[in-house]
Amino acid sequence: MPAEAGDRLVPAEASDRLVIVVSGPGGVGKGTVVAALVDAYPDEFWLSRSWTTREQRPGEADDAYVFVSREAFEERIEAGGFLEYAEFLGNYYGTPMPEAPADRDLILEIDVQGARQVVGVDPDALLIFLSAPSAAEQEARLRHRGDPEDKVAQRLAKAREEADAGEELGAAQIVNVDIADTVESMMDVIRTARG
């Protein structure tokens, strides 16, 4: 069962630590941007690695997700091992209960359904929503990463709905045109949130 409202994602004694939720539709470059952010500022962030039951894409990094069977995922659900999880396009995706080091901000790279669940647990979480420069660019990125044709169409159809949900949640909106610029835009948002 996911965490309940009233729980905190970071202990009270670490209340100056941020919980940063990065979301956006498939193909906007969330994984690439978050990896670049963590690589650029390794002493400031800890990335929670999400679990999924989907197949690993050809050429996809082994650590992009923890790739598991549906059975293993459902066992972890039963054990209360996820902060949030959702089923999307026939596969489970979920964020394990975080165990971030005490001196780093926690980054969760999840979809908007998950972002909504996290805000229910931790209303102070910082939400950042990434989008592609255009629908055509998003489609090109989905094809380039090897998504099957039916999944490309499904992800594109969901993109507007996800963008509306990100707006409704009050997430900071960033268009991912250039990775380095996007990382710096994210850092501007994070520094402002840190005060």
Task: Tell me, yes or no, whether 146 lies in a domain.
Answer: yes
Is 11 within the bounds of a domain?
Answer: no
Residue 153 within any structural domain of the chain: yes
The pLDDT assigned to 9 comes to 56
Q: In this structure, what DSSP letter does residue 10 have? A: S
Q: Where is pLDDT greater, at 179 or 89?
A: 179
Helical residues (DSSP H) of 41-178, grouped into ranges: 70-78, 112-121, 135-144, 149-168
**pLDDT grade for 6, boundaries at 50, 70 and 90:** very low
The overall average pLDDT reported for the chain is 87
Return the minimum-mean-pLDDT range out of 10-14, 61-65, 83-87, 117-121: 10-14
**Distance (Å, whole) CA 12 – CA 61:** 35
126-131 and 172-175 beta bridge pairing: parallel
pLDDT number for residue 11: 46
Residue 115, domain CATH:
3.40.50.300
Domain assignment of residue 177, yes or no = yes
Spatial separation of the C-alpha atoms in residues 100 and 109, rounded to whole Å: 14
pLDDT tens per residue across span 171-188 = 999 999 999 999 999 999
Please indicate, yes or no, if residue 7 is contained in any of the structural domains.
no
pTM: 0.79
Identify which has the larger pLDDT, 78 or 88: 78
**5: three-class secondary structure by DSSP:** strand
User: DSSP letters of 101-130?
Assistant: -TTSEEEEE--HHHHHHHHHH-TTPEEEEE
In a domain, 31, yes or no: yes
Cα–Cα distance between 19 and 46 in angstroms, integer? 10
Confidence tier at 144 by pLDDT (50, 70, 90):
confident
Range of the domain at 56: 20-194
65 in a structural domain: yes
The Cα–Cα gap between 130 and 113 comes to 15
Q: How many domains does the chain have?
A: 1
32, part of any domain: yes
Q: Strand pairing of 19-23 and 126-131?
A: parallel
